[in-house]
Amino acid sequence: MKKKIVLLLVSLLLVSFMSTAVMAQDENYEKEYTYVINTMNVDSLLEDPRLDLIKEKFNVDFEFRPVNWGNWDERVRIWTASGDMPDVMWTDLQNKFTEYVNWASQGAYKPIPKFGDKYPNLQAIRDKLKSDDYWEINGELYAMPVPMGTVDWRDPLVDTFNFIYRVDWAKEVGLFNKDHEYSWDEMVEMAEAFIEKNPGENRKTIGIGGIGWAWPWFAGLRQTHQMNTYTVKDGEYVWAPAQPEFLAGIKETKKLYDQGIIWEDQPIANNDAAKNKFIAGELGIYFDNISVGVYSEIMNSITAADKNVELADVSPMFVTSPKGNYFAEELLDHWSATIYNPEMSDAKLARWLEIENYMAGKKGQRLSTLGIEGKDYQIDENDEVEILWEKDEDGNLINPYDTGVRFFQLTTMHDEFDLNNPNLADKIKNDVKSILRRKLEDDVYVNPQPYEVTWFAGDDYTRYNSRLGDTMAEVSDVIVSTNSMEELENKWQEYIDSKRDTVDIILEELNQELLKE
């Protein structure tokens, strides 16, 4: 009997020591909090059993304010200006950083406490981020970035902007390289061969096209000038459009457009028009942000549209720039952010941060991407994941959750899961990984992300930068409307001269504030 009592006491002590944090949380969780949050795909979210798990685990409830891509920014501005913010406001600070600084300085947002050991997973995110330090105002952070780079080996956070092409057509015209590596001139030669030899057996095969928002910089301009809008050159900030490298890039794009190598309708085409041409087998080389989602959509659509096309018939192509080097860009380290209502109590914010800390950990990430343990997946003795999703008639796993639900991406994006998504073909995942890995090789110039300028809120920069207008629209105009390179040069110089006074004011401030000793 005495032995049993001792064992019982030891067990109780072990439970006490091992569960102190849980017990403390249970005490904190006696009061239920309801959080008002803006997000997308609310109807799907309300039916999502993962949400019920969060509610039960943390003794919380939610009221959702629906937004969509069209009204998201406007709603955020209205809520902030009117003092009717959600408790947790999901927003995007790109192109709105000055607004963030002004509102936060006026007390419109609640400062976020230091994370430290209390929220170790959130602290780990901050340790890895760069943007968050620029967002601090007088030592206080008012917005928590949602990090992009959850893949450790993707360092720096290189882009996935890339050309993909019809491998089977390249073989047919005799220009296929097994390693998918091509010089700029070789890509142009291939596009010309596609047009002339018409391997797609179309009325007219198109050489090169791209996603609409990337015109006109995707086919010659970005690869030639290889710099940010404001970049340090010879020890001082300059405006990229006024540099000779930028003009050389415009002329390269015009040359391809005038020769009919770039799709003639590209300047006026809608966003997905070239992609649809590629899927329909009418276009041979296509440029886009080749993320897992975009690439899987293209690959699944093209094989469904033509049963004779296999996944192996499409691949990324690794193309040097017209300058002869490989080129990539470092992306911003986050996408979107969460901001908190200043009227929310410290205790209520603390509970929310506990939710975010959980979602940033291994179990929370599995909940976000795989679902509920025991129902959607299980863990074996080696900590390996077995997915329990249903399969379709072809044996492919069927994700039971709406991937458009953004609530489960309020803490971190899921690029690591995307690159290893179990219900996608290995070919698709490996191709996207190959783009990233190629851009991380030593022979690639990675244009660094200009954090100092991106998050600069100087008075002159803020006042005048927007007055420069849409430079890419001007580039498109000079490409399409001029009849010679000389006319293009003259017209572009007229544009540069028209912006010179405004640009000089901006550059003076950038040089004084960001390059001062």
pLDDT 10s digits, 224-237: 988 999 999 999 99
| Per-residue model confidence as pLDDT tens digits over 417-456 | 889 888 889 999 999 999 999 999 999 999 999 999 999 9
Cα-only R_g, the chain: 26
316-337 burial: b if 16+ Cβ within 10 Å, else e: bbbbbbbbeebbbbbbbbbbbb
Nearest CA among 404, 249, 423 for reference residue 323:
249
- Which of 365, 394, 416 lies at the terminal end of a domain, its last residue? 416
What pLDDT is recorded for position 202?
79
Question: What is residue 414's predicted lDDT score, i.e. its pLDDT?
Answer: 86
Whether 169 and 290 share a structural domain: yes
Residues 133 and 232 placed together within one structural domain of the fold: no
Q: Which residues pair with 236 in a beta bridge?
A: 233
Instruction: Give per-residue pLDDT as tens, 62-88.
Output: 999 999 999 999 999 999 999 999 999
**Which domain-ending residue is among 392, 416, 440?**
416
Is residue 316 in some structural domain? yes
27 part of a folded domain: no
Q: Is the residue at 154 inside a domain? A: no
- 18 has a pLDDT exceeding 80: no
Q: How many CA atoms lie within 13 A of 462 on its CB side?
A: 12
Residue 507 sits in the same domain as residue 465 = yes
pLDDT (0 to 100) of residue 19: 33
For tokens 């959080």, name the residue.
35
**Contact between 164 and 314 (Cβ < 8 Å):** yes
Asked if residue 239 and residue 130 are part of one domain, the reply reads no
Q: Is the pLDDT of residue 22 over 60?
A: no
> What does pLDDT average to over the chain?
91
Q: For residues 27-47, give the mean pLDDT.
A: 92
Q: Tell me, yes or no, whether 120 lies in a domain.
A: yes
Q: Token digits for 418?
A: 């995307």
Beta carbons within 8 Å of 269's beta carbon, 6+ residues apart = 209, 212, 215, 263
Q: Among the listed ranges 147-156, 164-173, 405-414, which one has the minimum average pLDDT value?
A: 147-156
User: Strand 161-166 relative to strand 444-447: parallel, antiparallel, unpaired?
Assistant: unpaired
Neighbours of 266 (CB within 10 A): 24
Q: From the centroid of its chain, how far is CA 488?
A: 34
Instruction: Provide the domain limits for residue 177.
Output: 161-329+448-514
- Position 267 scores a pLDDT of 97
Pair 203, 270 in one domain: yes
Which domain CATH number covers 267? 3.40.190.10
**464 & 479 share domain:** yes
346 and 324 in one domain? Answer: no
In a domain, residue 16? The reply is: no
Q: Give domain status of residue 13, yes or no.
A: no
Q: How many domains does the chain have?
A: 2
For residues 158-181, average pLDDT: 97
Task: Flag whether pLDDT at 464 surpasses 90.
Answer: yes
Q: Are residues 279 and 165 in the same domain?
A: yes
Predicted confidence band of residue 416 (pLDDT cuts 50, 70, 90): confident
Mean pLDDT within 131-147: 94
pLDDT tens digits for range 314-338: 999 999 999 999 999 999 999 999 9
Statement to judge: residues 208 and 299 lie in one domain: yes
Helix (H, G, I), strand (E, B) or coil at 239: strand
Q: Are residues 321 and 349 both part of a single domain? A: no
Asked if residue 93 and residue 191 are part of one domain, the reply reads: no
The residue with greater pLDDT, 17 or 298, is: 298
Q: Return the H-helix or E-strand segment holding 96.
A: none
**Do 311 and 245 fall within a single domain?**
yes
- Residue (of 339, 352, 324, 191) closest to 266 by Cα position: 191
Of 395, 416, 437, the residue at which a domain comes to its end is 416
In a domain, 428, yes or no: no
Q: Has residue 360 been placed in a domain?
A: yes
Residue 357 makes CB contacts below 8 A (sequence gap 6+) with 115, 119, 120, 121, 122
Mean pLDDT along residues 98-124 = 95
Question: Percentage of the chain surpassing pLDDT 70?
Answer: 94
CA pair distance 277, 206, nearest whole angstrom:
8
For the chain, what percent of residues have pLDDT higher than 90?
Answer: 82
Residue where the block lists tokens 């009221």: 63
3-state SS of 310-333 is: CHHHEEEEEECCCCCCEEEEECCC
pLDDT over 90 (residue 311): yes
How many Cβ atoms from other residues are within 10 Å of residue 400's Cβ?
Answer: 15
What is the model's pLDDT at position 28?
63
Instruction: Please count the other Cβ atoms lying within 10 Å of the Cβ belonging to residue 186.
Output: 15
pLDDT for 119-138, tens place per residue?
A: 999 999 999 999 999 999 99
Q: Are 314 and 300 in contact (CB under 8 A)?
A: no
Statement: residue 361 has pLDDT above 70: yes
